[in-house]
């Protein structure tokens, strides 16, 4: 169904290191290259959150989305080491895993069907996206 959606843009700065405890030092280097540097490195992450109007055109409210994202995502990750986050204790802090985690955190607060897409820009040339599957047609 055609519908209106709204995308809000957020930013946070965080450090991370691409590293897996189940790989050897050589395997980590082969998989992640310089992103496996033991000292870590930082990114200015951009998070794009798309919500739709849930069928009610007057309900798209930037302040409502801002409050949820700021409390759930920005406060949690800004100026932090992503590798220290409890959710990353058993998975690598790749952009793929980060965008899925952000989706899951927001999906716990935003009604199914209203949260439409989450995007994470990690570097100039790296963009990750996670989206709800289209609703099945009846």
Q: Three-state SS across the chain? A: CCCCEEEEEEEEEEEECCCCCCCCHHHHHHHHHHHHCCCCEEEEEEEEEEEECCCCHHHCCHHHHHHHHHHHHHHHHCCEEHHHCHHHCCCCCCHHHHHHHHHHHHHCCCCCCCEEEEEEEEECCEEEEEECCCCCCC
Q: Which of 16, 19, 43, 122 is catalytic?
A: 122
Cβ closest to Ni ion, residue 7 vs residue 37: 37
Pick the stretch among 31-39, 72-80, 103-111, 130-138 that binds Ni ion (CB under 5 A): 31-39
Cβ closest to Ni ion, residue 36 vs residue 50: 36
We find the least distance from the C-beta atom of residue 42 to Ni ion, in angstroms, to be 8
Pick the stretch among 6-14, 27-35, 46-54, 108-116 that binds Ni ion (CB under 5 A): 27-35
Tokens found for residue 74: 């920005």
Cβ closest to Ni ion, residue 72 vs residue 83: 83
Catalytic residue check, 43: no
Pick the stretch among 19-27, 33-41, 48-56, 58-66 that binds Ni ion (CB under 5 A): 33-41
Catalytic residue check, 13: no
Contact 77, 12 (CB under 8 A): yes
Catalytic residue ranges: 35, 79, 122
Using CB under 5 A as the criterion, which residues of the chain lie in contact with Ni ion when the complex forms? 35
């Amino acid at each position: 169904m055609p519908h209106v959606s709204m995308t809000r843009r957020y930013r946070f700065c965080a450090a991370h290191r691409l590293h897996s405890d189940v790989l050897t030092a050589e395997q980590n280097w082969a998989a992640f290259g310089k992103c496996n540097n033991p000292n870590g490195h930082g990114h200015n992450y951009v998070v794009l959150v798309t919500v739709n109007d849930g069928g009610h055109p007057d309900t798209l409210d930037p302040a409502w989305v801002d409050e949820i994202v700021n409390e759930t995502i920005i406060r949690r990750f800004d100026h932090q080491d992503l590798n220290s986050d409890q959710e990353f204790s058993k998975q690598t802090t790749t952009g793929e895993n980060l965008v899925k985690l952000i989706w899951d955190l927001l999906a716990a607060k935003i009604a199914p069907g209203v949260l439409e897409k989450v995007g994470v820009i990690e570097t100039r040339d790296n963009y990750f996206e996670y989206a709800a599957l289209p609703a099945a047609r009846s």
